């Protein structure tokens, strides 16, 4: 981790700034820089909160999950402009594991041992393979630890119900990507927080645009570079709304009927 961070600080970041500078000032090599997708981190630094949109969480129901796609076929996470058909396959978050988890523990909040989440985690303990997260430093190897873990989610959800969605309480902003049709598709982390906001029926949540499809980018920027391209893109972003329909490359059928809790 330290070696990677050191390499990024000494070589990666300066290189990204150089590539971005070529594009921003329309120097020779600017087309090459745009073809690479523009360095996402530098774009975020340049635009910061201007990439944040506010959407109805119950409309943000489509997710681009990369877990079943080989890494060589995924868009570069370091790029802001993504090519390819990544936006044509999208899962339905309403039928996702995070929403089911949140609904489940809330329905059993008076006795969490009756929840599906507890049963599943307890079963893993009994089989000798307790759930663990090295990143979070968690090992759910006893019933009490499982219950504490589930209560933390309930406490977080109750706080959200009382105080609304507070971005700073999560490690990452809710990330979205803009499809070729200018629709917002959920990506990366924050899926439990989004599921809570959906379950609670919050009016809006803030999301940050992490990437845009190349077709949409070229359509709205019209070959502009630098500040002019960004202004054209930011103007167009205000008209982007969440994608609610299934994609032509989806492998599962969408839910025929779904009702949000009151």
Please determine, for residue 25, whether its predicted confidence score (pLDDT) is greater than 90.
no
Tokens 């803030």 locate to: 206
- φ, ψ at 66 (rounded to 5°): -95, -5
87 closest CA partner among 179, 211, 215, 155: 179
Percent of the chain with pLDDT over 90: 73
257 vs 206, higher pLDDT:
206
Strand partners, 209: 176
DSSP three-state, residue 75: coil
pTM of the model: 0.90
128-150 confidence digits (pLDDT tens): 999 998 878 899 999 999 999 99
178-198 confidence digits (pLDDT tens): 999 999 999 978 999 999 999
Counting every residue written for the chain, the total comes to 262
pLDDT confidence band for 252 (50 / 70 / 90): confident
pLDDT of residue 5: 42
Residue 93 to residue 81: CA distance in whole angstroms: 24
Residues near 46 by beta carbon (within 8 Å), at least 6 away in sequence: 20, 230
Residue 180 to residue 177: CA distance in whole angstroms: 10
pLDDT confidence band for 12 (50 / 70 / 90): low
pLDDT of residue 6: 45
Sign of the four-CA dihedral 168, 49, 182, 188? negative
Identify the helix (H) or strand (E) that includes residue 133. strand 131-133
88-105 confidence digits (pLDDT tens): 999 999 999 999 999 999
Distances in Å between the Cα of 17 and the Cα atoms of 27, 48, 49, 160, 165 are: 13, 16, 19, 38, 33
């Amino acid at each position: 981790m330290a070696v990677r961070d050191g390499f990024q600080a000494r070589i990666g970041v300066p290189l990204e700034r150089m590539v971005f500078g070529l594009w921003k000032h329309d120097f020779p090599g600017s087309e090459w820089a745009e073809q690479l997708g523009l360095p996402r981190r530098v774009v975020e630094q340049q635009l910061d909160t201007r990439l944040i949109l506010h959407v109805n969480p119950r409309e943000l129901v489509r997710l681009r999950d990369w877990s079943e796609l080989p890494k060589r076929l995924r868009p570069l996470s370091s790029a802001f402009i993504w090519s390819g058909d990544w936006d044509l396959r999208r899962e339905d978050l309403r039928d996702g594991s995070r929403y089911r988890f949140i609904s489940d523990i809330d329905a059993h909040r008076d006795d969490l041992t009756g929840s599906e989440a507890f049963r599943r985690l307890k079963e893993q303990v009994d089989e000798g393979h307790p759930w663990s997260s090295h990143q979070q430093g968690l090992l759910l190897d006893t019933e009490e630890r499982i219950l504490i873990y589930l209560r933390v989610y309930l406490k977080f959800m109750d706080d959200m119900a009382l105080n609304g969605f507070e971005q700073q309480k999560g490690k990452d902003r809710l990330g979205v990507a803009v499809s070729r049709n200018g629709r917002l598709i959920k990506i990366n982390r924050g899926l439990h927080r989004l599921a809570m906001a959906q379950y609670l029926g919050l009016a809006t949540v803030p999301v940050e645009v992490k990437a845009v499809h190349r077709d949409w980018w070229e359509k709205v920027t019209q070959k502009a570079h630098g500040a002019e391209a960004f202004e054209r893109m930011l103007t167009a972003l205000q008209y982007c709304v969440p994608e609610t329909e299934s994609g032509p490359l989806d492998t599962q059928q969408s839910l025929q009927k779904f009702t949000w809790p009151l």
